[in-house]
Amino acid sequence: MKKLTIAIDGFSSCGKSTLAKDLAKELNYIFVDSGAMYRGIAFFALQNKLIIDGVIHTDLLINRLDEINLEFVYNKEKFESDLLLNGVNISTEIRKPDVAAIVSKIAVLKEVRSKLVSTQQKLGEFGGIIMDGRDIGTVVFPKADIKLFVTADPKIRAERRFKELLLKDLNTSLVDITANLEERDLIDTTRKISPLVKAEDAIELDNSNLTRESQLQFVLDLIKERFNTL
Ligand code: DC
């Protein structure tokens, strides 16, 4: 069977990664969380004091992009990949509020996007991949076999992210999360380069009232229907 390329785009905290992980497990494909890579660069900028009082020193960051090596390594205990920045596991750090607060501002930078898009395209060279993000169906894999555009009610999204962070013991509040999601949605949809838009040939999936199992089944049925397989 042909190894498919599946692109999943959508707003923050819509459950894209959950769906992508479930699909990857079901199909035995690679899963790549492209947002984690943008978060990795944001973390590097914070760690190297390239952000002072909320101001990103863009030129300094761009000059240092070559020093950044991001790599996903599968963690058998967690059944998911860790993100390594120059060999150091930063999976927990990239979920923290300080990274969430600045990542969309880092993701507007042309140089950052071109570095990450080419890495992402290399990861998907041989198909058999599910990648989630904001520009996967439009820029990274414009010829993807399946494109999904995931949406969910903003209130439900904020509650989901809140629960996720509580589980990880990361201290935050629902009010702060809601404000952060609204800000990120605005920046992600209005930036000049590769803004978040639904690709013309993407299928919209509103999962506000869907269980994890039913959203997975929806996509599996779609694959079966289109590719007469599974
Ligand atoms: O999916 P996430 O919330 O972890 O993504 C973090 C940020 O990275 C998000 O605010 C927008 C940006 N991003 C992007 O611009 N393009 C992608 N393909 C993935 C994420």
Return mean pLDDT, the chain.
94
pLDDT, tens only, 57-74: 999 999 999 999 999 999
Nearest atom in ligand 1 to the alpha carbon of residue 16 is 1
Confidence of residue 166 (pLDDT cuts 50, 70, 90): confident
Confidence (pLDDT) at 229: 67
Q: Is the CB of 38 under 6 A from ligand 1?
A: yes
pLDDT, tens only, 88-104: 999 999 999 899 999 99
Mean pLDDT value of segment 151-169: 90
Domain boundaries, the chain: 5-223
Confidence (pLDDT) at 78: 83
Q: Which CATH class is domain 5-223?
A: alpha beta
> Which residues touch 137 (CB under 8 Å, ≥6 apart)?
7, 8, 9, 144, 147, 148, 149, 199, 201, 202
Q: Is the CB of 105 under 6 A from ligand 1?
A: no
Residue 181: what are its φ and ψ, rounded to 5°?
A: -65, -40
Query: Is the per-residue pLDDT at 116 higher than 80?
Result: yes
Q: Which of 102, 119, 2, 100 is nearest to 51 (CA)?
A: 102
Confidence of residue 183 (pLDDT cuts 50, 70, 90): very high
Confidence of residue 168 (pLDDT cuts 50, 70, 90): confident
Q: Which of 33, 40, 4, 188 is nearest to 120 (CA)?
A: 33
Q: Which of 198, 169, 224, 172 is nearest to 11 (CA)?
A: 198
Q: Is the CB of 191 under 6 A from ligand 1?
A: no
